[in-house]
């Protein structure tokens, strides 16, 4: 039996509670602690496109994870950022993405079929995060890299550990293990055929671009954590919103041409990443405000995505938006290099759910919980009934 739910979408409730504590009368403002906030969409676009604004906001610590993450190109500027980014972006060809879309759709259907293994009153009850979101996201990034399916389970476990806020010791242990894994993988892939995944291509590109082994290894780790976490987290957020308001799910069942705009609208409303940090290297004018040099700036993407100057009825879920220039994948030189990959994965996963389990519903007897992670917020679990 398909259940209806009353009250506000829990994600909207969390957002409203958080945003109500922020003075939204000024698009750019400074907190009492000295941190600058950017709350407006045009102002965020202006700042994120400014190449004099730095993404180097992290101070590397002494731990293994700190050292690895300090080499991520998302925390680099100018030529350092560009050459590391090019090593990855050149690999996301339309043909590779089309192939991955088929792989993800098939993998999602396979994992949905396994929901039969968990039974409960009123239907087959299961945690769709553990049984579908995490394993499919892990399968996808491993297939992209050219890692075997047997090894993908281990890589997925490392990705979960690295994406969640655990102890420094656990972070370092997982980082050391995944670095050792990729050292071994790269040693065997440097001479591998180019059609065996991204690892041999990245190794070749690294050599041509003057990228050393430490930077190459760090980029491999970033691809695993970002590719895994972004897709898995948003899949949970998306499915919760569609099933909480059952008419949204039913509308996609009736008209699958609405799948793509539904994903964009839910990215706007419920993206896992709500904030990105920047540092000004010189005095920077944003809107009618001058942010001084060497200032720490938090761009609140979630609020920018609800700016009434850009989005009509900004807090509402609407599929008829003529345009949807949300900032969930950021903007400017640091626009998410995996945005096209994320969209391909999410569409394939959602279409598989619609095809395979049209009567899917939520099982919400336990409270929903989100955890803060490296790249945003994700559900710890999402119990469903596969009736």
Cα of first residue to Cα of last residue in the chain, in angstroms, is 7
Among residues 181, 193, 136, which one has the least CA distance to residue 344? 136
Confidence of residue 373 (pLDDT cuts 50, 70, 90): low
Beta-sheet pairing, 360-362 with 383-386:
antiparallel
**Superfamily holding 10-305+314-386:** Cytochrome P450 (1.10.630.10)
Instruction: Render pLDDT for 47-100 as a digit per residue (tens, 0 to 9).
Output: 999 999 999 887 766 778 788 888 999 999 989 999 999 888 877 888 888 888
What is the model's pLDDT at position 260? 96
C-alpha distances out from residue 90 to 121, 219, 338, Å: 49, 14, 11
- Model pTM above 0.95: no
Structure tokens at 305: 């995505």
Structure tokens at 356: 């395979």
Distance between CA atoms of residues 314 and 152, nearest Å? 39
C-alpha distances out from residue 24 to 20, 28, 265, 291, Å: 9, 9, 22, 18
Greater model confidence, 382 or 172: 382
**Cβ 314 vs Cβ 52: under 8 Å:** no
**Cβ 306 vs Cβ 324: under 8 Å:** no
Distance between CA atoms of residues 90 and 364, nearest Å? 43
Instruction: Render pLDDT for 196-217 as a digit per residue (tens, 0 to 9).
Output: 688 888 888 898 889 999 999 9
Q: Is 334 helix (H, G, I), strand (E, B) or coil?
A: helix
Confidence of residue 166 (pLDDT cuts 50, 70, 90): low
Report H helices in 213-338.
Answer: 213-244, 246-254, 259-270, 301-304
What is the model's pLDDT at position 304? 96
Average pLDDT over residues 314-335: 94
Find residue 141's DSSP bridge partners. Answer: none
Q: Is residue 121 over pLDDT 70?
A: no
Those residues whose C-beta lies under 8 Å from the C-beta of residue 143, and which sit 6 or more positions away, are: 100, 103, 152, 197
Per-domain residue ranges of the chain? 10-305+314-386
Report H helices in 90-212.
Answer: 94-113, 128, 134-145, 149-163, 168-189, 198-209
Sign of CA dihedral 14, 15, 16, 19: positive
Q: Is 373 helix (H, G, I), strand (E, B) or coil?
A: strand
């Amino acid at each position: 039996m398909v259940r209806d739910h009353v009250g506000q979408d829990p994600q909207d409730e969390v957002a409203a509670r958080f945003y109500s504590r922020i003075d939204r009368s000024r698009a750019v403002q400074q907190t009492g602690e000295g941190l600058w906030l950017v709350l407006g969409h045009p102002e965020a676009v202006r700042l994120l496109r400014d190449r004099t604004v730095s993404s180097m906001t992290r101070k590397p610590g002494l731990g293994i994870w700190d050292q690895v993450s300090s080499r991520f190109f998302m925390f680099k500027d100018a030529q350092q950022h560009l050459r590391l980014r090019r090593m990855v972006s050149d690999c996301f060809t339309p043909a590779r993405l089309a192939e991955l879309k088929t792989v993800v759709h098939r993998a999602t259907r396979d994992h949905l079929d396994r929901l039969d293994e968990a039974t409960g009153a009123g239907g087959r009850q299961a945690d769709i995060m553990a049984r579908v979101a995490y394993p499919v996201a892990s399968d996808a990034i491993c297939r992209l890299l050219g890692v075997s399916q047997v090894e993908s389970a281990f890589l997925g476990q490392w990705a979960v550990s690295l994406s969640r806020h655990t102890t420094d010791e656990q972070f370092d242990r997982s980082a050391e293990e995944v670095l050792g894994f990729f050292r071994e993988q790269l040693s065997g892939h440097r001479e591998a055929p180019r059609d065996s995944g991204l690892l041999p291509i990245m190794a070749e590109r690294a050599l041509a671009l003057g990228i050393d082994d430490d930077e190459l290894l760090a980029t491999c780790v970033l691809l695993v954590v970002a590719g895994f976490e972004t897709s898995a987290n948003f899949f949970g957020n998306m499915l919760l919103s569609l099933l909480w308001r059952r008419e949204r799910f039913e509308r996609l069942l009736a008209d699958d041409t609405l799948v793509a705009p539904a994903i964009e609208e839910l990215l706007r409303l419920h993206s896992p990443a709500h904030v990105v940090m920047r540092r000004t290297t010189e005095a920077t004018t944003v809107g009618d405000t001058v942010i001084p040099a060497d200032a720490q700036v938090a761009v609140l993407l979630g609020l920018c995505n609800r700016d009434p100057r850009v989005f009509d009825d900004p807090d509402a879920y609407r599929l008829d938006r003529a345009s949807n220039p949300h900032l969930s994948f950021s903007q400017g030189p640091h626009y998410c290099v995996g945005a096209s990959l994320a969209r391909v994965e999410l569409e394939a996963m959602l279409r598989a759910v619609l095809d395979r389990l049209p009567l899917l519903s939520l099982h919400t007897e336990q409270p929903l919980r989100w955890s803060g992670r490296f790249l945003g917020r994700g559900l710890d679990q999402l119990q469903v009934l596969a009736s």
